[in-house]
């Protein structure tokens, strides 16, 4: 196979695009004093109040230590609160506070504006196809990781 260079590497291209999208989102979240990483955790908690940390990690595709750090920060900022788990006292259940829900309500449009920015350069059909392909790649890679 001939050398194609980094610009033809799916990992490189996705990583570069991810960093630019994240930077774009972070700039718009700046006035709310929350990062895209923190926002994604808070958003998942807002969608399903009462999640355990392991479920939050799965839904955000983040490692448990990263989720622990983010949860501790969100709790310090009074955006969430934790309660001991019913089945397992060593774990805890995470709930969003009114302050956290207000922040998500105010910032969801910012997340949508990032998607809208992407939709300026591709058609609706291309956008749907891109999401479908990325999810297929994600699922395949997850299965490959679990096999090894």
* Residue 85 confidence (pLDDT): 74
Name which of 59, 110, 57, 106 is nearest 79 in CA terms: 106
Q: Is residue 1 part of a domain?
A: no
State the pLDDT at residue 126: 97
Q: Which residues constitute the domain of residue 101?
A: 6-147
Q: Does a structural domain hold residue 100?
A: yes
For residue 85, being part of any structural domain is answered with yes
Q: What is the pTM of this model?
A: 0.86
- Residuewise pLDDT in 10s, the chain (148 residues): 445 666 678 889 999 999 999 999 999 999 999 999 999 999 999 999 899 999 999 999 999 999 999 999 999 999 999 998 777 666 789 999 999 999 999 999 999 999 999 999 999 999 999 999 999 999 999 899 989 8
Contact 53, 62 (CB under 8 A): no
For residue 112, the model assigns a pLDDT of 96
Q: Which residue's entry shows tokens 């805890």?
A: 92
Q: Is residue 64 part of a domain?
A: yes
CATH value at residue 65: 1.10.10.10
In a domain, 73, yes or no: yes
User: Residue 45 is encoded by which pair of tokens?
Assistant: 């908690």
**Number of domain units in the chain:** 1
Q: Give the Cα separation of 73 and 59 in Å (integer).
A: 18
Nearest 5°: the CA angle 14, 62, 10 is 15
Is position 13 within any domain?
yes
pLDDT at site 88: 65
């Amino acid at each position: 196979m001939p050398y194609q260079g980094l610009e033809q590497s799916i990992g490189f291209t996705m990583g570069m695009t991810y960093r630019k999208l994240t930077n774009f989102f972070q700039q718009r979240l700046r006035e709310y004093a929350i990062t895209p990483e923190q926002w994604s955790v808070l958003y998942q908690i807002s969608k399903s109040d009462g999640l355990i940390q392991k479920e939050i990690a799965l839904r955000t595709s983040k490692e448990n230590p990263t989720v622990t750090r983010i949860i501790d920060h969100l709790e310090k900022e009074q955006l969430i609160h934790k309660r001991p788990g019913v089945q397992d006292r060593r774990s805890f259940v995470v709930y969003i506070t009114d302050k956290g829900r207000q922040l998500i309500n105010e910032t969801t449009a910012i997340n949508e504006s990032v998607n809208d920015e992407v939709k300026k350069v591709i058609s609706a059909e291309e956008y749907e196809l891109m999401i479908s392909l990325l999810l297929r790649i994600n699922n395949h890679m997850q299965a490959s990781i679990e096999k090894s």
